[in-house]
Structure 1
Amino acid sequence: MAYVITDNCVACGTCMPVCPTESISEGDIYKINPDTCIDCGSCAEVCPSEAIIPGE
């Protein structure tokens, strides 16, 4: 299951460069494309606001 970015996102951009599949897109709150996310968790590990969690 793909990771998701919650409303706790502060749009700092820390997650984007660590995503090996470039599945994260910018915005007021960043978003992860569930079709390309490989569930590696790299983004969650670097998120300073703990806004990235495993999807359900």
Structure 2
Amino acid sequence: CWTDQCFAGNGAADVKAVIEVQHGREPRGVVNREVLSSERWKDRLAVFAGRFGS
């Protein structure tokens, strides 16, 4: 994919994922879903949710 629309879509999806994490929510499109069940990940999400709201 080498069009402007493709690059814009990829960038928008990346930004959305960062915002989801910032608000303590799991982002879409995670390839290694096993990571999402780790205590370390859950703790990080809780910290972000407390800091930025959910």
Is the pair's TM-score, using the shorter chain for normalization, greater than 0.5? no
Q: Which has the higher contact order (CA 8 A, sep 6+)?
A: 1
More helix per residue: 2
Structure having the higher Rg = 2
TM-score range, shorter chain: under 0.3
Which structure dedicates a bigger proportion of its chain to strand? 1
Q: TM-score, normalised by structure 1?
A: 0.22
TM-score, length-scaled by structure 2: 0.22
